[in-house]
Chain A
């Protein structure tokens, strides 16, 4: 069973506009959620995280929102830039401390 789901395999956005990447989860025991960005031929790079006791965390152009009742989190990128084009993974931290990842969403930001 997939505990973390990213239902959109791809997303295309115009430069300067907002990118919204979505993630749903089923495991209510997750205590932390993280977003990673991955370029081809590189390992994932940590982007931003949020504790399960919060509903929003912001870092520059990146904001993560958590809706615990809906078991949903989203990553907002404003404004989007061509360099943001990458695969974005959301992950939940399980009770053992390991990360459980979604399958990723490929973001394309067009100039």
Chain B
């Protein structure tokens, strides 16, 4: 069974631009969560989607948004990029909303110049 895939793997943007990241969960998984990893803050939860609905949201500004499609694929969007948005963005999928195990993709490395 294929794992979680994320595209693109690397991205370079400039301040003020917007970016869209994509995540394809493991086949059959219906929940997708997004995390931001930075050296200083570790892994921080952004939001979780299940059945095309945002079920849970972390403490990030409204510039960070996401959506989930009917095939469970998810996209994350960051508008008006700031230098501090440079990070590794990780997507994780799980079978159900309350499952104990989330499986992570390799991440998208975003660099904001």
What is A's interface to B at a CB cutoff of 8 Å? 32, 34, 36, 41-46, 49, 51, 89, 91, 93, 96-104
- Contact indicator per residue, chain B 82-107, by CB within 8 Å of chain A (1) or not (0): 00000000101000011011111111
Q: Tell me which residues across on chain B come within 8 A of A98, comparing CB atoms.
A: 33, 45, 48, 56, 58
Q: Tell me which residues across on chain A come within 8 A of B58, comparing CB atoms.
A: 98
A8: shortest Cβ distance to chain B, in Å? 14
Partner of A41, one of B35, B45, B106: B106
Contact A100–B41 (Cβ < 8 Å): no
Which residue of chain A has its CB nearest to the CB of B43? A101
Contact A89–B43 (Cβ < 8 Å): yes
- Contact indicator per residue, chain B 51-80, by CB within 8 Å of chain A (1) or not (0): 000011010000000000000000000000
B32 adjacent to chain A (CB < 8 Å): no
Q: Tell me which residues across on chain A come within 8 A of B4, comparing CB atoms.
A: 43
**CA of A96 to CA of B97, assembled, Å:** 9
The verdict on A32 contacting B100 (CB below 8 Å), with A44-B90, A98-B56, A99-B45 known, is yes
Which residue of chain B has its CB nearest to the CB of A45? B104
Contact A97–B97 (Cβ < 8 Å): yes
Q: Tell me which residues across on chain B come within 8 A of A46, comparing CB atoms.
A: 101-104
Contact B43–A97 (Cβ < 8 Å): no
Q: Tell me which residues across on chain B come within 8 A of A41, comparing CB atoms.
A: 106
Contact A97–B42 (Cβ < 8 Å): no
Contact A44–B101 (Cβ < 8 Å): no
| B35, B41, B43, most chain A CB atoms within 10 A | B43
B41: shortest Cβ distance to chain A, in Å? 7
Contact A43–B42 (Cβ < 8 Å): no
Q: Tell me which residues across on chain A come within 8 A of B44, comparing CB atoms.
A: 101
Contact A97–B98 (Cβ < 8 Å): yes
Contact B42–A103 (Cβ < 8 Å): yes
